[in-house]
Structure 1
């Protein structure tokens, strides 16, 4: 079934347009159109792939993102790191081309094709002029990289050497050590925490056949989301999506759901480090992409720690106390519960007091919530800055892929400003009081020994 949503440019800042390929389509809803609206088109191919398109004809450019449910959350617990290598090395040898051939062809054809891998997704990105021959060359290269990566042993060995070197260097970085330790506290056995279990032995244990097997299992059209933004129409988008996925295994794959995140809360870890600064992290898995409190938590966070110099954490820890150059709080929504985090660095001697003050600022905010003036400032900033979040094709593409991958409604961007505007201080306070308790947060400190 095909669905079309309209997004008003005036009311949106995250505009995403998507057209997807399908054989038979019947629009279920078509919003009224006017010259100031853009359309997200979405449908499914016969092989199960989801396609989203936004037509933008101002520039002769096409941007494409093909994402699969093949991120590191799909790793085997006994073979951590395979997903990352399988996704990220696809563009380093494919079909009859080695990595130098791929670079040369990209340069000769004036196109960009690259592979990627993260926690939840893996796939390829393509940027090309919409001129037919150039676009066809880009699709040929993208299809080959996507469906026939060769994973040369020399490339794998080299990238393993780089990964080991990077891992060793990171063992001296306070921020990395803190992030790694916090991930182990938040996700000790969960797939979201696999990356924090990596070490030299696990990196070296990955074999070329592991990458081939992972690619064959997880890179299937039935789990694909093809997002397209640019100077093409729906029929062209249909052809592009079909062509890119044509040589992958077509059998539909039903993947198990990612497990819910069990909470491990109230833990504290200190890592000794000789640096003069101590890095402080407070965190807990809290928010998912489909969370009922999504807007109350995210918009409320602007006042606490996402509003830069206007935030409560910055005012108290930097302006009033002089403990740090910067303090922040952040939500990272994922398919299952992603983290709420607070972070800062301070002189080692100030670390105990800075931690105490940070907890008190959070406790006060949970108890009181934002004032009417603070909430209005957050709304003005978020709604007023909306257009800057997708003022390029690339930004639009990112939001389009997010809508498709997390199965968000096609009017997600259209209704976003309205949902922000509708929030009240009471709703934000209620959500924060239900979802966050200071004593539940895990705490990691990296630096010299804390003197209480």
Structure 2
């Protein structure tokens, strides 16, 4: 990267961080490419930056019988193409002052690019990313190295009570559903993570009709259309991934105790509940802000932390996904206090489901959520992440515009009704890991 490029990119990032809430609700344009990818664009000509985010329906839910394959494949995309190895690819982006990345979650796998908008820098950066998207080679030395790295990481995860609890929770809550797969994979599946397996997964899911492209930055519609056509030109049209099966509700409560020589007990309590396009999305999310989503001022924190001193942090959250994502309540406490903390966690949930929030609690939650919302859209990077989410989950284009309106429209009765219908305290997964070490654990 040249000194001039570094200085200009640094200046552009600083300007982006100084973005104001006046531009918080962007105008979204959308179209479909010639080979079938959906595109969402927000033009922000005030900053000389372009952010690109390509989201494929290629997350861990597509692992099938090979746990960890989606994340493994995604992590190898930049390790080699026909005429460039990983170092050459990295150097190519660096010389252009561009930043790139890749990540995979349960629902989606993402490839991203950030570049200055000057055409002599942007065009070759886009062309290089296009070569990676269309021509990933998965060289055998990189595959073997990634497998060894993953083996060490999985061994370390198996020693961490928080990771153990999360794995156990998803396995108990989702059973045979694809969401039960842990995105990082499993030690016993490591031999299955081969070059052939990664290549097969890549050819099936990294195709245009299975992709959503989000762009934000100093680029207008005609230029953006040309940019995306070049970016995806090498991808076959392919086919969109099939719809995920619905998550079956829990038929009964599940209680699982996992021994671990830690003084702290890690507790998770919850169940599958919320999809991204769920009609109860706003009553549940706003209500949870009162219950356990607003840090130290939530009900859970007040009861567990402030009144009883049983945990430094106690929380709850919804994680909406394509199929029903989980509602989770959690805390860490001393082993000898785990029973009391669990009882209080359940009691707080029972009371909230029955009574809902007070008017004062709900008003405070609305102010908090609507007041902080513009800060979530004060940079190109924030906006492009929201755009990719909107496109991937097929949400209405006015979702951002109407967010504040929908939050403010939530009533106490709607929160109570939604929690009574959707959150059943009698049919939840309870995972406890640890609290078996030291004097407190005994």
Query: TM-score, with normalisation over the residues of structure 1?
Result: 0.90
Q: Quote the residue 1:253 is aligned against.
A: 239
- Judge conservation of contact 1:112–1:138 (CA < 8 Å) in 2: no
More displaced 10-residue stretch of structure 1: 254-263 or 390-399: 254-263
Q: Of 364, 374, 377, which aligns to 2:364?
A: 377
Matches for 1:348-427 after TM superposition, within 5 Å: 348-427=335-414
1:342 corresponds to? 329
Task: Using the TM superposition, name which of 263-272 and 149-158 deviates more.
Answer: 263-272
2:190 to 195, 199, 203: 203
Are residue 64 (structure 1) and residue 52 (structure 2) matched?
yes
Match of 1:311 in 2: 298
Contact 1:123 1:146 in 2 (8 A): no
Q: CA deviation at 1:10?
A: 6.6
Deviation at 1:201, TM superposition (A): 2.4
Is the contact between residue 114 and residue 126 of structure 1 (CA under 8 Å) also seen in structure 2?
A: yes
Separation of aligned partners in 1, 2:34 and 2:124: 25
Contact 2:61 2:179 (8 Å CA) reproduced: yes
Q: Deviations over 1:53-110 (max 9, x none)?
A: 0011111000000111111211222x22222121121012123111111121122111
> Residues 451 and 441 of structure 1: is their aligned pair in 2 closer, same or farther, counting only changes over 3 Å?
farther
Structure with the larger helix share: 2
- 1:45 aligns to 2:28 (yes or no): no
Per-residue displacement from partner, 1:120-172 (whole Å, max 9, x unpaired)? 11231000000001001111111011110111111111111111101111111
User: For residue 133 of structure 1, what is the aligned residue in structure 2?
Assistant: 120
Q: Which runs of 4+ in 1 moved over 4 A?
A: 9-13, 449-452
Q: What stretches of structure 1 of length at least 5 have no aligned partner?
A: 1-8, 16-37
Question: Equivalent residue for 1:33?
Answer: none
Residue 74 of structure 1 pairs with residue 62 of structure 2: yes
The SS at the match of 2:401 is: helix
| Corresponding residue pairs, total | 419
Q: Over residues 154-205 of structure 1, what are the superposed CA-to-partner deviations in whole Å (9 max), with x where a residue is unaligned?
A: 1111111111101111111010000011011011211111127932220222
The whole-number CA distance in structure 1 between the counterparts of 2:63 and 2:195 is 15
Candidates 212, 227, 238, aligned match of 2:199 = 212
How far did 1:283 drift?
A: 1.4
1:267 paired with 2:254, answer: yes
Alignment of 1:81-120 (within 5 A): 81-120=68-107
Structure 1 12/337 Cα, relative in aligned 2: closer, same or farther at 3 Å?
Answer: farther
User: Structure 1 345/287 Cα, relative in aligned 2: closer, same or farther at 3 Å?
Assistant: same
Q: Quote the Cα distance in structure 2 between the aligned partners of 1:288 and 1:376.
A: 25
Q: RMSD value over aligned CA atoms?
A: 1.8
C-alpha contact 2:266 2:435 (8 A) present in aligned 1: no
Contact 1:277 1:346 in 2 (8 A): yes
Could you tell me which runs of 5 or more consecutive residues in structure 2 were left unpaired when the two chains were aligned: 1-19
The TM-score, its normalising length taken from structure 2, stands at 0.92
Inter-partner Cα distance in structure 1 for 2:273 and 2:205: 28
User: Distance in 2 between the 1:113 and 1:255 partners?
Assistant: 25
Q: CA deviation at 1:339?
A: 0.2
Q: Distance in 2 between matches of 1:306 and 1:115?
A: 29
Aligned to 2:415: 428
